[in-house]
């Protein structure tokens, strides 16, 4: 647990399961289809129940007919999860030689997810290590991008009068936890 920064927001890293977090909003590392997948996405749909998938299908039937583009974020119910809502975002697929492009998209995921959360009035938000699983982004490259983007978005929100109480990174593995925790502590 880190002390709140000058905006009053605590940036934290914990080891755990994102589906169990008692926060206003959890972020899903979704894929563009919004219709479920493996990893975090699979766990959220499995534990959250069919309401989340039904909401995603409505998004696909409406504004997101072609799916959610990487770097963007949309909100649905959290179904049976303890969180109030799920912010779905699509991370970049890691492609060797295209690190800069991937970093821009990964940063955008965090920025857009926090903008969506702020619009809903969420004060506590939990992120997984977006893109570092099936999408192959190296954890030590992803962590600084994710944390810097969150810091900037927290400042941006504070400038508009929305103060997040806590933004929490929830890491499944010890290795990811160590890397994100070090970045958060910096």
Helix (H, G, I), strand (E, B) or coil at 2: coil
Report the nearest approach of ligand ADP to the CB of residue 178 (Å).
13
Structure token pair of residue 50: 């069919």
Active-site residue 140, yes or no? no
Residue 75 or 128 having the CB closest to ligand ADP = 128
Report the nearest approach of ligand ADP to the CB of residue 43 (Å).
4
User: Directed axis angle between helix 99-119 and helix 139-159, to 10°?
Assistant: 40
Identified catalytic residue from 24, 41, 140, 178: 41
Helix (H, G, I), strand (E, B) or coil at 144: helix
Residue 108 or 157 having the CB closest to ligand ADP = 108
Binding site for ligand ADP (CB under 6 A): 17-19, 29, 38-41, 43, 91, 128-135, 170, 172-173, 176
Strand 124-127 and strand 25-30: the pairing is: parallel
Residue 20 or 156 having the CB closest to ligand ADP = 20
Provide, for the chain, the percentages of residues in helix, strand and coil under a 3-state DSSP scheme, each rounded to the nearest 5: 40, 20, 40
92 burial (CB, 10 Å; 0-12 / 13-18 / 19+) is buried
Report the nearest approach of ligand ADP to the CB of residue 89 (Å).
9
Radius of gyration of the chain (CA): 15
Residue 38 or 82 having the CB closest to ligand ADP = 38
- Catalytic residue IDs: 41
């Amino acid at each position: 647990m880190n002390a709140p920064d000058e905006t009053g927001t605590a940036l934290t890293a914990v080891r755990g399961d994102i589906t169990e977090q008692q926060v206003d909003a959890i972020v899903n590392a979704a894929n563009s289809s919004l219709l479920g997948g493996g990893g975090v996405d699979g766990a959220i749909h499995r534990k959250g129940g069919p309401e989340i998938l039904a909401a995603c299908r409505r998004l696909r039937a409406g504004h997101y007919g072609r799916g959610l583009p990487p770097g963007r974020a949309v909100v649905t119910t959290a179904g049976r999860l303890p969180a109030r809502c799920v912010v779905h975002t699509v991370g970049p697929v890691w492609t060797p030689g295209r690190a800069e492009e991937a970093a821009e998209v990964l940063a955008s995921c965090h920025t857009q997810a926090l903008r969506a959360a702020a619009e809903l009035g969420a004060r506590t938000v939990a992120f997984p290590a977006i893109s570092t699983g099936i999408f192959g982004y190296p954890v030590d490259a992803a962590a600084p991008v994710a944390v810097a983007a969150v810091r900037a978005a927290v400042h941006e929100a504070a400038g508009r009068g929305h103060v997040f109480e806590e933004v929490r990174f929830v890491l499944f593995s010890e290795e990811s936890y160590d890397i994100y925790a070090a970045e958060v502590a910096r």
